[in-house]
Amino acid sequence: MTQQIPQRARRSEGDDTRETILVAARHEFSASGYAKTTMRAIARTAGVDPALVHYYFGSKEKLFATAVDLPAVPGEVLRQVLDGDPEQTGARILRTALTVWDTEAAGGGGRLTALLRSLADDHGPATMLREYLTNQVFARITTHLGSDQPQLRAALCFSQAVGLILTRFVVRAEPIASADREFLVQCYAPTLQRYLTGPLPAAR
């Protein structure tokens, strides 16, 4: 009589395929950047049918978020940021992002530290993540707002957002580490709002 292998201990073919696709995705996003990478190219590198990539991950953005281990799919929370008074966009970005990060930190925060560490690394993963955050996330916001110099504004927002995450969650400098979320929103909203819609020096 053969012994029964418990369901959870068995590694299914599906798990392997999923992992193969993730490895291929990291490679493609690293090599070509987010914008130029296609689901088809990832499928080709993984040696699977493109339909399977869609089946497992749904969209390029969801696949990216899983591949780089983001705590949320930015496209899915972006609607909450874009809707409403344009002059409150900075506050909405902070409220949304801090909610995601605080939840992540409450679960241990290992993913946040790993993300930050990969940003401080000047290799493939950093470039891929930075390009995604500035060109996809913040640039969608600046484009939506119709601001001039959208790339500069996106990079300025990125620089304050990444500094805030580092200070609150990794370095844990007080009083920012223990401050309540809404207090931080009030501290940082004027900064992000100026970066998004305020007057900036002319590009040189």
Residue 96 or 134 having the CB closest to its own copies: 134
Residue 61: DSSP 8-state? H
Give SS3 for 160: helix
Residue 59 or 191 having the CB closest to its own copies: 191
How far apart CA 66 and CA 22 sit, in angstroms, is 8
Is 108 near its own copies (CB under 8 A)? no
CB of 150 within 8 A of CB of 142?
Answer: yes
Stretch that binds its own copies, among 23-31, 61-69, 85-93, 166-174 (CB under 8 A): 166-174
Binding residues for its own copies, total number by CB under 8 A:
45
Give me the amino acid identity at 51.
A
Other beta carbons less than 10 A from residue 105's beta carbon = 21
Give me the amino acid identity at 12.
S
Residue 83 or 121 having the CB closest to its own copies: 121
Q: Minimum Å distance from CB 34 to its own copies? A: 14
Is 181 near its own copies (CB under 8 A)? no
Stretch that binds its own copies, among 21-29, 36-44, 80-88, 173-181 (CB under 8 A): 173-181
CB of 95 within 8 A of CB of 185?
Answer: yes
CB of 69 within 8 A of CB of 115?
Answer: yes
E-strand stretches of the chain: none
Residue ranges that bind its own copies, judged by CB under 8 A: 113, 116-117, 119-122, 126-127, 130, 134, 151-152, 155-156, 158-164, 166-168, 170-176, 179-180, 183, 186-188, 190-191, 194, 200-201, 203-204
